[in-house]
Structure 1
Amino acid sequence: MAAIVLTVAQQKGGAGKTTLAAQLAAALAADRRVALLDIDPQRSLARWHARRNTEARAAAAGVTFADTSGWKLAAEIERLRRDHEVVLIDSPPHAETEARLALRAADLVLVPMQPSPLDLWATGPTLDLARAERREAKVVLNRAPARGRLLEATKAELARAGVEALPASLGNRSAYAMAMAAGLGVTESAPRSLAAEEVRGLVSALAPWLGRE
C-alpha cells in the first residue's frame, strides 16, 4: 500500500514549517516507516536530520531522509511512497514548480500558522494554491497560547474565512527548539512534557488520514 503523503506548506516565513515536519516525523517513526523529503532551499530539515544521525542516534527512531529537487522530484516522491507508510514533505516558501509538485502529491496539506489575524491573512496564498491543486488543506496553529483573546479571535477569523484548523495545536514552548537543536522530536527528548502531549494530540487528529491511531 502506498504511503500517505503529508505536505507541510506555508509561503509566509517564520510559521514553524520545518519544526512541524520534524516533530511529526519523529513521533510517527516510533511505529511507522517514515520518510522526510526536504525541498526547502534553506535546508533546515537536512541539518536537523544530520544531527539526528550523529549526536542523537541512540535516542532517535529511524527516519529516511531525502532532499531531491528539480526534475527528479516527482519520481523521488513516488519512490518514497512505495517504501514507506508516511511521507512528510517540507515544501519551499514560494509557488513555483517544486512547491506545486509537493502539493499535487499530497493526500493532505498541513499549513502551520501562528495565531493572529495578520498571519491568517498572510496564509491566504498558500491555501489558494492548495485549492488550485484540488488538495485538502488544514491549518495547524503553531506557537499558540493555551487560551486567551488572541487565540479565540484567530479561531473565529478562521471560521469566518471558511478555513478548517485541526483541533490539536502546538504551543509556544522552548522544548521544541531544544529538541530540534538535538536532532530529536519532543516525544523522544521529553516524552512526558506538555510539548510531547501536543505532538501526540496532533498525531491523533491526523488519524483519519493516517488510518490508525
Structure 2
Amino acid sequence: MATILTFAQQKGGSGKTTLCAHLAVELASRGYGVALLDSDPQGSLGRWFMTRFEREAGLKGDITFSTASAWGVSYEASKYKDSHDFVLIDTPPKIDSDLKPALKASDLIVVPVTASQVDLWATEGVLEMAEREGKRPLAVLNRARAGTKLTTAVQGALSGLAADAATAVIANRVAYAEALGAGQGVAEYAGAAVAAGEISALVDEVLAKLDPS
C-alpha cells in the first residue's frame, strides 16, 4: 500500500514544489517507487518532470507523474496504491475546501515554512485544516539562512505550532533551483553534495516519523 505525502502551504513561494521534487528523487534513489501527483494549476512540478524526461540520462530511480483536480486527488492516488511505495502530492498555494481531499488522503502532511513571520502566520491556516482531519503535519524550515536571528526565531516558533518541527533544516542554496531547472534533484546534481545531505536528512526524518518502530 503506497504511503501518501502531501505538500501544503497557504503562502506562495514557500518551496512546496521544490521540496516535493527533491524528496521524490531522494526516495527514488533509495529504491522506492515514487508517483508524483500535481494538483497545482501552475503546473511547475509537471514542467520539472517533462524537463527530467527529456534529459533522462544519469537519473536515479523510478518516478512517475500525473495531474489531478483538487477534488480528484484521492482517486488518482488510489491508482498507485499497489504499484508504488510513495505518492507525493503537490497542492496549490491556498487554503480552502479544495485542499481537504489531499489532506484527508495523506499519511503525512509536509508544510514548508520559510524564515519569515509572514510564513508562520500563513502556516496557521494549513495546520487548522489538518487538525480538523485528525492529522499532525511535519513543519520544515525551508530556505533558511544559517546564523541569522530571524531563522533562529522562526525555528523556535515552529515548536509552538500544532505540528512536529523537523530537525532537518533546508538552507537557502542556489543548488536547489539549479537542479530543478535541469530536471534533477540535488541527489543527482553535480556539486550539490551539501544540499543533497540536507534532503537526505529530511527523508530519514520522514521515514522515521512514518515508521517510528
Please give the TM-score of this superposition, normalised by the length of structure 2.
0.92
Name the CA distance, whole Å, in 1 between partners of 2:86 and 2:191: 21
For 1:89, the equivalent position in structure 2 comes to 89
C-alpha contact 1:117 1:157 (8 A) present in aligned 2: no
Secondary structure of the residue aligned to 1:58 is: coil
Cα distance, 1:132–1:150 mapped onto 2, change above 3 Å: same
Do structure 1's residue 17 and structure 2's residue 50 form an aligned pair? no
- Residues paired across the two proteins, number: 210
Mapping of residues 127-206 of structure 1, within 5 Å: 127-190=127-190, 193-206=193-206
For 1:44, the equivalent position in structure 2 comes to 44
Give unmatched runs, 5+ long, in structure 1. none
Secondary structure of the residue aligned to 2:145 is: coil
> How far has the Cα of 1:36 moved from its partner?
0.4
Name the CA distance, whole Å, in 2 between partners of 1:73 and 1:156: 33
Cα distance, 1:129–1:36 mapped onto 2, change above 3 Å: same
> How far has the Cα of 1:75 moved from its partner?
1.6
The range that moved more, 15-24 or 72-81, is 72-81
> How far has the Cα of 1:165 moved from its partner?
1.2
Name the CA distance, whole Å, in 2 between partners of 1:130 and 1:145: 28
Name the CA distance, whole Å, in 2 between partners of 1:140 and 1:151: 12
Name the CA distance, whole Å, in 1 between partners of 2:26 and 2:33: 11
The range that moved more, 99-108 or 156-165, is 156-165
Give unmatched runs, 5+ long, in structure 2. none
> How far has the Cα of 1:76 moved from its partner?
1.2
Name the CA distance, whole Å, in 2 between partners of 1:8 and 1:99: 11
C-alpha contact 1:4 1:209 (8 A) present in aligned 2: no
C-alpha contact 2:35 2:63 (8 A) present in aligned 1: yes
Name the CA distance, whole Å, in 1 between partners of 2:141 and 2:210: 19
- Encode CA deviations 1:154-181: one digit per residue, 9 max, x unaligned: 1222223454211002110010011000
Secondary structure of the residue aligned to 1:100 is: helix
> How far has the Cα of 1:203 moved from its partner?
0.8
Cα distance, 1:162–1:78 mapped onto 2, change above 3 Å: closer
> How far has the Cα of 1:33 moved from its partner?
0.4
Cα distance, 1:166–1:136 mapped onto 2, change above 3 Å: same
CA RMSD of aligned residues (A): 1.8
- Encode CA deviations 1:97-120: one digit per residue, 9 max, x unaligned: 442111101001000110122211
Name the CA distance, whole Å, in 1 between partners of 2:110 and 2:74: 19
Secondary structure of the residue aligned to 1:186 is: coil
Do structure 1's residue 5 and structure 2's residue 14 form an aligned pair? no
The range that moved more, 73-82 or 90-99, is 90-99
C-alpha contact 1:117 1:153 (8 A) present in aligned 2: no
